[in-house]
Structure 1
Amino acid sequence: CVESLRMQTRDNLERMVVIKAFIAVRVLGLRQGGISEETQNDSCEKILTPTEWKLLWVKLEGKPLPSQAPTLKWACLKLAKLGRWHDSKRTGCPGWVVMWDGWFRLQDMVEGYLVMKSLDQEI
């Protein structure tokens, strides 16, 4: 993954490893929190920002926002669905690739939301 970016210098490679590691830790927290019986009922705001989970809700639920943040299990499954996971094997446990893809799709949604929100302000 990092090797495919073909960083030309050691400093660039180190910076990219730090960025990728930060993202990997957040995805790890979401996936493990969503499948662990001890933490699956905790609030998804432990991992996602309010903007992130609200955009995920609006995109995948199509219902009005709840008064409280959904659970980590909900966030894990919905992020996986955003990464094109369909639970075809009926394991209920999404893989790392779909979690990673879902995470990046969510970040694209957040970026688009913030750009649209900035249009309301004078530039």
Structure 2
Amino acid sequence: MTQNLHEGSRVRLGQGTRPKAWWTVRAMDDRFTILTRPASNTARGSEYAIIDNVRALRGPCDLIGQGWDVDAEQGCQKLLRALNFHLEVVARLAAGEESVRTTETSTEVSYRNNVPIEILEVAA
């Protein structure tokens, strides 16, 4: 889905977003892409979206309030790490561990607030 994207790419998305708004790719790996854009309410800083290529959808994280500090560069990297840590915990539980001590934040793309991936336009 996002094979043509790289950090710094600018993207226009469909499915429920402001149609003229451009998002910037801030962090990514094989599964997840973290996008940000200035919030429509400038007092809030930046908005973010997570693309999950395996589930073929995008949305916010599943934490209460769904907020994440993405204004600092390391915020996007921390979000990417939290997404991957969640996958690690799930894999360890599926492999038979009875419990996994969570030493860091674990999150995933919200199951309640998501939409299919629809990339309308990409600019380098």
TM-score w.r.t. the length of structure 2 is 0.33
Give the structure with the higher percent helix.
1
Largest Rg, 1 or 2:
1
Give the structure with the higher percent strand.
2
Which one has more relative contact order, counting CA pairs under 8 Å at least 6 apart? 2
